[in-house]
Chain A
Amino acid sequence: MNKLLPLYRGGVEAWECDQMRHMNVQFYMSKGSDAFAHLQNALGLSPSTIRATRKGLRFKTIRTQYKSEVHAGTALYGMGGIREVSGDILTGFIHIFDAIHGRLSAVYEFTADYADYDTDASLPLPGDIRAAAEELTDPHPDVFHPEPFAGTLMPNRPLDHMFESTRGSVDVWECDQFDHIEMRHVVGYFSDAATHIINAVGLTREIIRSRNLGSAALDYYSEFHAPIRKSTAILLKSGLIGAEKKIFRFGHNLINMDTGELAVTTTVIGVYFDMTTRKSVPLPKEFTDYPAEKLLKAQM
């Protein structure tokens, strides 16, 4: 039995690329979500079953590593599988490959539970789904497995010196058939926040352009604490955790303003790069000069 499953195939459309001239992180997530739907089907959770029961798998955590950038027109494919079933939690992975260069482009390592999509309650894993998952379980030693996330993760609580980086409401067209925000749009909010972070350290897009710089995320770790539904008022607060040499770290708290709940916490590691050579460069001094007392790491 082949336990490494083909879960995605497609490519990079021109309109999925951002000002860094590579595919934006939200579209990686879109392709990862497509792959997750196929993985659910492999576990017995077909689309018709999910529609009938209004229950299915839901991400609890997602670790994302961006291994190599991809550009418009690049053919992509995705593979994935289940690494472990522990209690009612599944641990799995989805890897997106650049088919042109034959290399790994993005890594999703996730945990997921079985949930009621109407009440958002976490439910025991049904016996048939558990059996299917156990049948598919394999540590996949020959498949890339990232090292544990480097550094401290954002705590599930408000921190001082976080600033507003996005404010809005969840539009109907950002939601799935169960009125939950699609994962792509959660990542989209984080992506938009990056420009506000640049601004918060004293940089502008014009300065960035004049220095021929781009920025790229290398590593995300997201924890999902509460649902975000259609037309919810949301607020994203962000802050710089630290900045040394070539690496910056920042944290996001996505807040459901209707309930006041902290819905998602995300820790991001990233770099700046030269837009021509596409190689990482030392951080702009505005990052390394950022007041130490405002860095979130002091509170973590």
Chain B
Amino acid sequence: MSGYMESYRGQVLMRECDLLGHMNIQYYGSRISLAMCNMFHIIGMDPDDLKNGKRGLAVVQQDSRYVAELHAGDIIHMESAVVGSSKKTVTVDHRLYNSVDDGLVFASRMTAAYMDLESRKAIPLSDAIRLKLVDLITDGEDVA
């Protein structure tokens, strides 16, 4: 899918499964967290920049759909794309797939605010990030 890039690849652990015998919802979020390590890098926010610049992206809105179950041992990967931005925010679309058949299992669109980590307030995106976003932003596609 144009504009989407691999942001996570791993597996489902037994301890992540709940009484229903499938991966508990909290661990979908853990995959987004790992995917965002890569998306920060893609949009020009490296760990040193976060640490030294005292800036970060914090999620302010998230819409998720759980499409299929995952079981212990399943192999999965996530593809993500930047699908929008505003003066202070970036919107990223994440899709999690079962790596055996590339079937969609989870989709989540989240908007994150660029944040001053000292004042704890949202601030305008830096010029460097804004420039990166020009090349990255793609039209997100609705998923089934």
Contacts and interface: CB of A to CB of B under 8 A. Distances in A.
A13 B15 contact: no
A129 to B, nearest CB: 16
Interface of A: 6-13, 31, 33-34, 37-38, 41, 46-48, 50-51, 71-78, 99-100, 172-177, 182
Contacts of B50: 73
Shortest Cβ-Cβ A-B pairs, 5 listed? A11-B37, A73-B47, A10-B34, A34-B10, A177-B72
Contacts of B99: 38, 41
Interface in B113-138: none
A46 B11 CA distance: 12
Nearest to B6: A9
Given A75-B37, A99-B41, A41 B75 contact: yes
Main secondary structure of the interface of A (DSSP, over half): mixed
Contacts of B71: 47, 51
Nearest to B41: A75
Interface residues of B, number: 29
A99 B38 contact: yes
Contacts of B46: 73, 100
Contact of B9 (A7, A50, A72): A7
A51 B37 contact: no
Contacts of A7: 9
Main secondary structure of the interface of B (DSSP, over half): mixed
Interface string B64-91: 0000000111110100000000000000
B72 A41 contact: no
Contacts of A37: 10-11, 73, 75
Among B34, B40, B73, the most chain A Cβ lie within 10 Å of the Cβ of B73
B97 interface: no
A41 B100 contact: yes
A78 B10 CA distance: 10
A66 to B, nearest CB: 18
B13 interface: yes
Nearest to B10: A34
Among A13, A74, A75, the most chain B Cβ lie within 10 Å of the Cβ of A75
A174 B100 CA distance: 25
Interface in B1-45: 6-11, 13-15, 33-38, 40-41
A44 to B, nearest CB: 11
B73 A47 contact: yes
Contacts of B100: 41, 46-48
A128 to B, nearest CB: 16
Contacts of B11: 33-34, 37-38, 47
A72 B77 CA distance: 21
A11 B50 CA distance: 15
10 contacts: A9-B8, A10-B35, A38-B9, A38-B75, A38-B99, A73-B40, A73-B46, A73-B50, A75-B40, A99-B41
A285 to B, nearest CB: 34
